Structure 1
Amino acid sequence: MVKAVVLGAAGGIGQPLSLLLKTSPLIDELALYDVVNTPGVAADISHISTTATVTGFLPADDGLRHALTGADIVVIPAGVPRKPGMTRDDLFKVNAGIVRDLAKGISEYCPKAYTLIISNPVNSTVPVAAEVFRNAGVLDPKRLFGVTTLDIVRAETFAQEFTGQKVPSATTIPVVGGHSGETIVPLFSQAQPSFNVPEAKLDAIVNRIQFGGDEVVKAKNGGGSATLSMAYAGFRFAEKVLKAVSGEKGLVEPSFVYLPGVEGGEEIAKEVGVDFFSVPVELGPSGVVKANNVLANINDYERKLLEVAIKGLKGNIEKGVEFVKNPPPK
C-alpha cells in the first residue's frame, strides 16, 4: 500500500498535480491538504475510476496530522504564485514560512517519507526543509528532493527543433544548478542522443529555458503562472520516485539535493562550492542511490553559465538556512 500526500492540493499546481497522481496505478491512497477547498477537490477527484482512494483535509481537526500519518511520499506545491514582475526570490518570505511549517509536520508524522518540494524559490525552500529536518533529528538527504523537472521538460521541448526527435522526452538533456533564472544550466553537450544547437541560436534557447516561467506569466496576462506544466513535471518526478521504490532500475532524473548526504555528492559539492545543487540522481528504494557528476566534460560556454549559476545559488541557499536559524520577526 502506497500513500501519497499533496500539501497545497487546492492551488493552481496542486489541483492538476492531484489529478495526475490519482491516475497513477502506483498509488493506493491519496491524501490532499490545503488551507481551503480541499474537501471539494478530493470529492471531485475521487469520482475518477482509478485505484487510489482520496481524502481531503483542512487545518481544522488536526488535518495536517491525519493527512501525513502513514505517508510514503509527500509532494509540496503549497505557496503563493508568482505575479508579473515578481522573481522567485520575492516569494521567499511567504513560501519559506509555509514550507518550514509543513516540514515540521512531516518530521513529526512521517519522517521517513520521500519529500518532494515544488514550492518556490526551490533554491531556498529545500535548504529550509533540510534545516527543519536536521533540527528534528530526521534529516535523510536521500529522501529530500527539490523538483527541478520543469527545467528539464522545457529543455526537451524547446530543443526538439534541433534533436529531430518526434517525442521531445526521447532526448535526455541534463539541466544542473538551481531552479530560477540564471541558476538553471542546460548541458546540451551531455545530451543523449547527441545533437547540435547552432551557435547563433544558443543564447536564445538557454534564456528561454532559464526564464520560461516569465513567458507563461506574460501569456496569462498576469492571471497566473506556470501551473499546468509544473504539475506535469511534479508528477513525472514523483512517478519516477515511486517506480524506483517499487524496484524499477536505471531511473535517473536531475533534482536539487543536499550533496554531502548522498553518494557521489561530496565530489560535486567540492567542485561547485555549494552543498545544494541539482544534478542527475539515480533513484532506488532508499531514494537517491547516487548523484552523477556530469560536469567533467562540459564545454567552455556551459562552464561560464555554471559560474554565474553558482554565484546566485550561494546567496539563495544561505538565505534558506538563515531563515530557519534566525527566523524573521512576525
Structure 2
Amino acid sequence: MATALSSMMLHTPVSSKCANYMPAGVAYSRSSCGSKAFPTHISIASKNLKGASPSSALGFFCGEDYTLLEGHGKPSLPRKVNSNQSSPKGQVRAAAYNIAVLGAAGGIGQPLSLLLKMSPLVASLNLYDIANVKGVAADLSHCNTPAQVSAFTGFAELPDSLKNVDLIIIPAGVPRKPGMTRDDLFKINAGIVRTLVEAAAEHAPNAWINIISNPVNSTVPIAAEVLKQKGVYNPRKLFGVTTLDVVRANTFVAQKKNLRLIDVDVPVLGGHAGITILPLLSKTRPAVEFSPEEIEELTVRIQNGGTEVVEAKAGAGSATLSMMKCCSKY
C-alpha cells in the first residue's frame, strides 16, 4: 500500500496533540507518551506506483501481464499464490490475498473497496461496517473480477470478518468537517481504532494492519500499544497510510512547473498534520529550481491540502483523492 524508504528513531507524545509531532515519509520504530514508551511503525511512500509500467502498477484488469508485480516497492508482501487459480499462457499467476476493510461503507471505504475488488492480488474481500455495508458488497460483487466479496455488519460480526485475512485496512471513523483539525477527531477515532485493533489482535494476529483513520499520527501509536498489550505486536506489520501528502506534493509541483506528472517525485517527511508535513522541494525529481516565494506557496498548500478538500467537500473526507490518484494509470 505504501513504501517505506528510510527509518529513524523518534520519541513522540501520544495524546490529542500528537498530530502536531509525528513525522511522515519514513518508517518509525518508536514513540512515547510521557515516561511510557512504546514502538510504532509507519510506512509512507515517497515514491508511489505512478512511475510503474501499466503491467507493474496494480494491474487492475485480469487480462494484464503481472510479471512485474513482484518486488515493486519495499517492504513487499510475501508472495502468496492461490493454487486453485490457473494462469493464461504467458502470464504469471496472480498472488492472492484475503483482505478486510473495516469501515467499508464510508466515504473512504467504498472507493477503496472498489479498487481492491479490481486488483488481481485480492482473492477475498471482507467488508465490515456498523451499517449500510451489504449494499456496498452487493454492488462490488457484480464486478467481473475474481475477488469474492462478503459483507459483515455490526460488532457481533466483526470477528468473522477477520478470519483468515492477510491484510486489514482501517478507514473507519468520523470525517473532518470544515473548521476541524485532525486533532479534533482524536477522541472519537482513537476509540474506534482501539476497538478494531483489539479485534484484529484476537482474530487475525498475524495480519498486516494499515490505518487510514485520522489523526494517523496518534491512531498508529494507539494501535501499537493495543497490539503490545495483546502480545502480538510486530512493528513490521503496522502501518499508517499517509501517501496522500506525497500525491499532493507531486501534483502541485507538476502543475506549478508545467512538468509531466508521471515524472515528478517529491519526498515528504514529517507527520500527517499541518506544519509537521515537510515536502523536500529541493530534492524534487526531476531537478527544478524554486524561488523562495514558490517554496513558501507550495509548502503551505501541501500542508493544508486536506483542509482545502474538506472545505470544498463540506466534510465528506479527503483520503478518497489519495486512493484514486495513487492507483490511476497515466
TM-score higher than 0.5:
yes
Structure 1 unaligned spans of 5+: 237-330
Residues 223 and 176 (structure 1 numbering): CA distance in 2 closer, same or farther, change over 3 Å?
closer
CA distance in 2, matches of 1:231, 1:36: 22
TM-score (norm 2): 0.67
Q: Are 2:152 and 1:57 equivalent residues in the alignment?
A: yes
User: Superposition RMSD on alpha carbons, in Å?
Assistant: 1.7
What residue in structure 1 maps to residue 178 of structure 2?
84
Partner of 2:291: 198
- The AA in structure 1 aligned to 2:292 is E
1:228 corresponds in structure 2 to 320
What is the CA distance between 1:223 and its match in structure 2? 4.7
TM-score (norm 1): 0.67
Aligned runs of 1:73-222 on 2, under 5 Å? 73-162=167-256, 164-166=258-260, 168-220=261-313, 222=314
The aligned counterpart of 1:33 is 128
State whether residues 10 and 41 of structure 1, in contact with CA within 8 Å, keep that contact through their aligned partners in structure 2. Answer: yes
Alignment partners' CA distance in 1, 2:299 and 2:321: 18
Q: Deviations over 1:83-117 (max 9, x none)?
A: 11111000000000000000001111111111110
Q: Which residue of 2 aligns with 1:275?
A: none
Greater RCO structure (CA 8 Å; 6+ sep): 2
CA distance in 1 between partners of 2:210 and 2:101 (Å): 10
Q: Between Structure 1 and Structure 2, how many residues are aligned? A: 233
Query: Measured at CA, do residues 8 and 233 of structure 1 come closer, stay the same or move farther in structure 2, by a change above 3 Å?
Result: farther
SS in 1 for 2:201: helix
Deviation at 1:224, TM superposition (A): 2.0
Q: CA–CA distance in 1 between the matches of 2:273 and 2:283?
A: 21
Find the counterpart in structure 1 of residue 93 from structure 2: none
SS at match of 2:101: strand
CA distance in 2, matches of 1:31, 1:214: 31
Change (3 A) 1:99 1:233: farther
Aligned-partner residue type, residue 177 of structure 2: K
Number of the residue aligned with 1:72: 166
CA distance in 1, matches of 2:172, 2:263: 31
Give, in whole Å, the separation in 1 of the partners of 2:293 and 2:315.
33
Distance 1:133 1:235, change over 3 A: farther
Task: Give the distance between the partners of 1:119 and 1:196, measured in 2 at CA.
Answer: 35
Q: Residue 48 of structure 1: CA displacement?
A: 0.6
User: How many angstroms apart in 1 are the aligned matches of 2:310 and 2:177?
Assistant: 7
Gaps of 5+ in 2: 1-95
* CA shift digits 1:185-216 (9 cap, x unpaired): 11122233322222211111111111111111
Please tell me the residue identity of whatever aligns with 1:57: F
- After TM superposition, list the pairs within 5 Å mapping 1:214-293 onto structure 2: 214-220=307-313, 222-232=314-324
One-letter code aligned to 1:72: D
Give the whole-Å Cα distance in 2 for the aligned partners of 1:42 and 1:225: 21
Identity within the alignment, %: 52
Following superposition, the deviation at residue 21 of structure 1 comes to 0.8
For the pair 1:13 / 2:105, whether they are aligned, the reply is: no
Instruction: In structure 1, give the amino acid aligned to 2:157.
Output: G
Paired position in structure 2 for 1:287: none
Would you tell me which structure has more helix in proportion to its own residues? 1
Instruction: Give the secondary-structure state (helix, strand or coil) at the position aligned to 2:172.
Output: coil
